[in-house]
Each structure stands twice: as C-alpha cells, then as structure tokens.
Amino acid sequence: MPGVEAWSPRSPRLYELELRLFTAEDGASPMDDLIERVGFRTVTTKKGRIQINGEDIVLQGFNRHEDHPLVGAAFPLPLMAKDLDLMADMGANSVRTSHYPNDERFLDLCDERGFCVWEENHARGLSLEQMRNPNFIRQCEQVNKEMVLQHGNHPSIVIWAILNECASDTEEGRVHYKRQLEQIRALDRDPAAHLRLSSPGQGALLRSCRHRLVQPVPRVVWKRGSRRAVRPGEKLGRCGRGSR
C-alpha cells in the first residue's frame, strides 16, 4: 500500500482506522462507530527461516500464563504491561499465549511494543477419550472462530496454534487437527498454512501459521542464550510465570 510504513518488532507502526455504520433509512448520522488501530506487515518462510517484511527473525520469548497470586486470571492493564516489561528486559521479542486466546488489551500492548504473538485456542493436554466428548468438536470450532475473527487484525499475531499436547500421536486425533486447521485457513485468508511440529511424547502436531508455507518449518529458539534450537510446544524450565 503506497505511503504506508510497515509494522515490525523494531518499528511497530500503527494506524488509526475509524469505521461508521449508517442505516438505509437515516444516512445522515451513523448508528454506530468503531475506532481501531491496525498495522501492515508480511510474514513469510524461506530457506527454513521466518521473515517479517522480508527480514529474517528469530523468535525468542516466553510461554505466558495468566496466573497471579493476588489477582488470579483477572489481570489489570498495569500487570499486563509489567509482564511485557520483564520479558523485554530479558531480551525477548515474542510471547506465546499458552494456552488460550488472550485479553484484547494485552494484544494491543504487543502491537504497540512490537512483540510477536503466538496465539492458540483453549484445548490442551487432552487424551483421545476426552476428544471423543460429543461437545469437543463444536466447542473447538466456536473457540477458533472467536479467536481468529476477534483478533485477526492484530499485526503482532504471526501464528495461530491449536490443541497443545493433545492426542496427535493417533490417527483419530490427527483428524481433529486437520479439521480445525482447515477451519482456521477458511477464516484467515492471509492465507494460513499447515505447520507440522514435533512435541516430546506427543507425536506430530499440526499447527496453523498466518502465512503461506513455502519451505520446511523453521525451528524457533525460545530459550534465551541457548545454542539449541527448540521446537515450539516443547516444555522448558522457567519459561514464563505460572508455567508448569
């Protein structure tokens, strides 16, 4: 888009978008309006690496759980900002919303500060027996739909993820992964692509990323200072407050 400065972790440029809704009966005054901030960027994978706006990037960050000894999961904005302050102070440039979509305000802060976000749905650690629950498919589809449609305009979100450490080591379980990824691809026309990742003891995981997959999936380094490339989904010690 001519004249637009791209959003990036180093320069998180945002633009204010104002929308007004008019009725056919009264076109003179709006019946509703919305002011939203948006950013413009591209995400690609080439030669086994991730690029934002054509530049290679290594994601270094934390699994963040909304869990606090005083406020529980009801985080006020200052605590959200404090979490990002702590992560930035340790050299992080990304955060994983393990394991649920996060508060809109937290995503706004990530947009402002240039943090890359890996956002995922609620379902996690489910056995095949639990995935056979008659409500499982419907509830996951609803969560995925809400996540993508509500948060899809945040430039900080570069990865959609699903079903953390569920029964992906079974044929029946992989059917669920495929179904949900196809749903996300239909919702996010960025377009989304399938990512196949490994998780210890869990077999092959299918994830969805908000860009077209043109090369094998790059390994993402999450542990600061480590020389070892860690696959997303792998458990790390001390990888974020409240992680278990």
Catalytic residue ranges: 165
| DSSP element (H, E) containing 19 | strand 15-21
Cβ–Cβ under 8 Å, residues 213 and 224: no
In angstroms, the CA 25 to CA 56 distance is: 51
Around 63, how many Cα atoms within 13 Å sit in the side-chain half-sphere?
A: 20
Phi, psi for residue 29 in degrees, rounded to 5: -130, 140
CB 122 within 8 A of CB 135: no
Q: Which residues are CB-neighbours of 19 under 8 A, at least 6 positions away?
A: 33, 34, 35, 36
One-letter amino acid of 6: A
Contacts of 200 (CB under 8 A, 6+ apart): 234, 235
